[in-house]
Structure formats: structure tokens, C-alpha cells
A and B are shown apart, each in its own frame.
Chain A
Amino acid sequence: METIFLSIALVFYLVSATLRLLPVKKQYSDWMLLLAGLCHLGLLITRSVIAKHPPFTNIYETFLLLPFLIFLRIVFWPKRHVGTYGMIMTYISAAFLTVALILPAAIKIPKPLMPALNSIWMYIHVPSYFFAYMALMAAMVYAIMVLIKKDSDPQVEKRLDEELKIAFFFLNVGLITGAVWAYVSWGNYWSWDPKETWALINVLVLSFVFHLKMPTAKKKAWILIITVLTVAFTYWGVSYILSGLHSYT
């Protein structure tokens, strides 16, 4: 059931994004996007019912959740974004679902929550980071637009700033709620665990965007790209290369 929902959602996302490239009415693409979102919602509900917890406790589940947040962003804030943004973001959603589809079956097996994860703070801390990742994805699209265009586009630059603020804010919310959760769970809000340290590194790197002597869109775009790399390392690299208190993620 889960794989069926996943496959259908993926096909609809791809069709929706591709229709944007073709000389057809925009509504066809929008309808396909909506159908993709509904299947995606069905997928997340099915997964949550099977796993008996929300879908953000392992790599596979996060590959399902992140594109859904991107979908919500495209649907609920369509006028805030410019140009081909919606199409690119839809392709990114499809890319995430493709990876989720081809991940080894062993990674997809739902596992019950450990006692430490059984906390209300998981529902605040983890989604905070996902909102940040969603904003980083959006900012990445604008950053690439800024870097490849020779002339400055104030609208794109404004959107880049907006996404950077959202990303920075939610990275901080994630960091602080994580500290509160660790305090409630272990009595230690900060343990210098590799995941914690890299989460702090992400915030420090992105803070440069707001502390530039001569802020330009290109400088911000480069800082954003470095942040995306450090966030990607925090998310995957730390989990697989460095061991620590967050080894279960």
C-alpha cells in the first residue's frame, strides 16, 4: 500500500512538473500537483499507521516528509514565488520520492520508538528542522538563480532573503528545542555530541549571511550553498560516519 501511494505520488509530481514545460494550460499541472499531494498525504498516513509514530524517525521517513512540506509550500504560498520556482521544487520533491523508492528494504522497515524518543518534544524539535530544510531547499533554488544570472533580479534576491530568514530561524528553533528535549530526557541540554556540534556549526555558518560587511545576493548565495553542504553532512554524514547520542537517527 505504502509503495503504491509512493509510486503514484511520484508519477503525479513528475507529470505536474513536466506539464509546466509544455504549452498547455497551467491548471492541468496544478491538478496533477494536487493529486500528487493527496497521494503523498495518503502515503504519510499509511506509514504513520504502520510505524505507530509520525514519519520522521529515520532516513527513509524523512525522504517522505520533506517533499510533502515542499508540496505544502508550493500550494499554500504560490504567489510568493517567482518564475520557474514551482516547477523546480516539484522536480526536487519527485527526486526525494525517487530516492525513497529505491532505498534498500532494510532501511524502510518501521521501528518502534526508543524510550528517549517517546516525548512531546520530538513533535516540535524534528519538524522545526524540517521546516528549516524546506526553506534551505527553496533558498537553494533562488541561490542558484542568483548565481547563474548575470544581472541582479531584486524579486529573486528578496525571496532568497526571505527563505534564508526562515531557514535560520527554524535551525535555531530546532537547536534550542533539541537542547530542551535533551535536558528533559537526559538532564543534559548540551553534550557536545557530534550531531549537536554540527547543528551548531550550521547555525554559525548561516549566521554569516546576517553579518556581512557588504551584503550582496551572490555572497549570501555562496553562504547558503556552504550551509546546505554542512546541513547535508549533519543529516547523513554524522549519522553514518560519526557515532554519538543521535546514532539512532
Chain B
Amino acid sequence: MIKKTLLRSFQILSIVLLAFLAVSTFMPLKEDPGFLFLHRFYDSPLNLALWILLALILVLAVLFKGIRSTKQKILHLSLAVIIVLFIVDKSQNERFFISIHEGESIELGEHIEDHDKTIRLDRFEIDLHDDQETPSAYRSYLTLDSDTKAILEVNKPLAIGRYRLYQSAFEQNYYFSLKIGNEEFELTFGDSLETGFGKIVLTDYDDRIRHFRLMVNDKVQWLPLNTGVSLDDAYWSITPLEERYSSIIEVVEVRGIFWLLVAGIMYLVFMALDFWKPGKQKKET
């Protein structure tokens, strides 16, 4: 009786999950999760509840003799462990991005309480395939704590304690030298400077007229490329410096991931043993 109930529960739950998962892939992502959370089903409490229920059914099937074969018991328990560890990882482990400009450092301690580590991006490199168009590797040359050199690459994460660093993305920044009278400033698009002439923001460059657009004390001011102009009794000029990259690195806490991998391997191994052990009598769950 219990076996039949559990089997029926599994079937119903799986059909409900299948329906929600399938429909949600066609729904555009929106802030408002909408009807039955379909616009953000993956983050929804409904998705969480269905998976917890599924894990519970797997455990109950083992406990109440819904499954008799030891291999199948281990297989089902491994799956329940995978679901639980997945939920714990997604809800507990930290995950955030850091962006470091070439030649600059960041303190990991500003993001993580107990990890006081300095990460400096010495250089960012993009390797290209023979076609000279498609990238073959993105590589960050890092210095950790002023003395340890490390290379961070896609598919080659770096371990720092219980965290891993992943090469996630990059930005190409154009730096310019802004001279106002005798003062010189280095800036990139979006930078805001407090100067003796007020607040200056470099907002844009118009390639047609070859002029930079600046906001000086919230007023638009256009500056020609490489040619100075006199403004407010001072000589203003802007010239391009070298391009610099910023490396965007994802920092991920990896507590419990090892056990997730162990559960995954156990799940596959016991499935194979259950399916292909010579001469065994297969019992349907």
C-alpha cells in the first residue's frame, strides 16, 4: 500500500514539476514572478517546495520498503542528497563578482569577512585562434598578497580557502588624459572628477565630429580630440592614453560542493550496478 502511494506520489509530483519546468522555459524573465511564479519559477518557493517534496519521497521510499534492492536504495538516497545539497548550496553559499582594472588591486576582505587577501590584476590577455577573430583563452595574470603570482583562466579556477575565483568576463576601457590649465587628470568614460573647476564627468565620444562630451557642473561641454580649447580662462585638452582591460572575476563559496560531487558519482555508479550486474533480478521500484 505504502509502495503504491509513494509510486503514485512520485508520478504526480514529477508530472507537476515537468509541466512547471517546461512552461517556465518559454516565459520571459521578469521582476514580477507573475501567475504561479512562471516568470521566475527557478527562484520561486514553489520550485523549492516541489524539489524538497521529491527528496522526501525518495527517502520515504527507502525507509518504508518501497524499494527493496540495496543498490536502488543507495541510488535513491544519493539523489535525495544531491537535491538537499543543491538547495543548501544555492541558499547558503556566497557568490559575487569583482571587477579589477589592470594595474589595480582589490581587497577581498571588503567582500568577505574572514578572507583578508589582496588581489592585483597585473595584466589581462586574450589569446586568439588562427582566424584572428575568435578568442581561444581569456587570462588574468594576478598577484595575490603582493608575492604569489597566479594565472586565472576560463576552465582553470583558482582556490582561495573555501572560495574559488572564476574568470567570468572582461571590459575594455579607454583611458584619457584631461589637462585643464596646469592640472592633469586620468579618466575613463563614466568617471566623475572633483576639480577646481567643479565636477567633471566624461560621458561620451562622438566619432562623427571627433569631439568628447563632458558634463562640467551638470552642463554639457564638448572638447575636440587632441586639440585644446580655452574655457573659463583655462586651456582644456583631452588626449587618448592606452587601452586597459578590467577583469571581471566571480567569487564563489564552495562549501558542500565536494559532497555534491560524491553523491553524483554514487548515483551514477549504483545506477550502473543496478542496471548491469550480471545475472541479477531487476525489481521495479
- Chain A contacts to B: CB under 8 angstroms: 111-116, 118-119, 165, 168-169, 172-173, 176, 179-180, 183-190, 192, 194, 197-198, 200-201, 204-205, 207-208, 210-213, 215, 238, 242
* B35 is an interface residue with CB less than 8 A from chain A: no
Other-chain residue from A176, A187, A205, A213 in contact with B164 (beta carbon distance below 8 A): A187
- Chain B contacts to A: CB under 8 angstroms: 4, 7-8, 10-11, 14, 17-18, 21-22, 24-26, 42, 86, 90, 95, 129-131, 134-138, 153-155, 157, 164, 166, 168, 250, 252, 257, 260-261, 264, 267-268, 271-272, 275-276, 284-285
Closest Cβ of chain B to A186, distance in Å, is 6
- A187 contacts B250, CB within 8 Å? yes
29 cross-chain CB contacts under 8 A: A112-B129, A112-B130, A112-B136, A113-B134, A114-B134, A115-B137, A115-B138, A115-B155, A116-B155, A118-B154, A118-B155, A165-B275, A165-B276, A176-B268, A183-B257, A186-B168, A187-B95, A187-B164, A188-B250, A197-B24, A198-B22, A200-B21, A204-B18, A211-B7, A211-B11, A211-B14, A213-B4, A213-B7, A238-B25
If A118-B155, A186-B250, A208-B11 touch, does A180 touch B25 (CB 8 Å cutoff)?
no
- A185 contacts B250, CB within 8 Å? no
Bound complex: CA of A165 vs CA of B134, how far in Å? 40
The tally of CB-CB contacts under 8 A between chains A and B is: 101
Residue of B nearest to A233 (CB): B22
Bound complex: CA of A118 vs CA of B14, how far in Å? 35
Closest Cβ of chain A to B74, distance in Å, is 15
Other-chain residue from A111, A114, A183, A212 in contact with B135 (beta carbon distance below 8 A): A114
The 7 nearest A-B residue pairs measured at CB = A112-B129, A192-B42, A187-B166, A187-B252, A115-B154, A112-B134, A165-B275
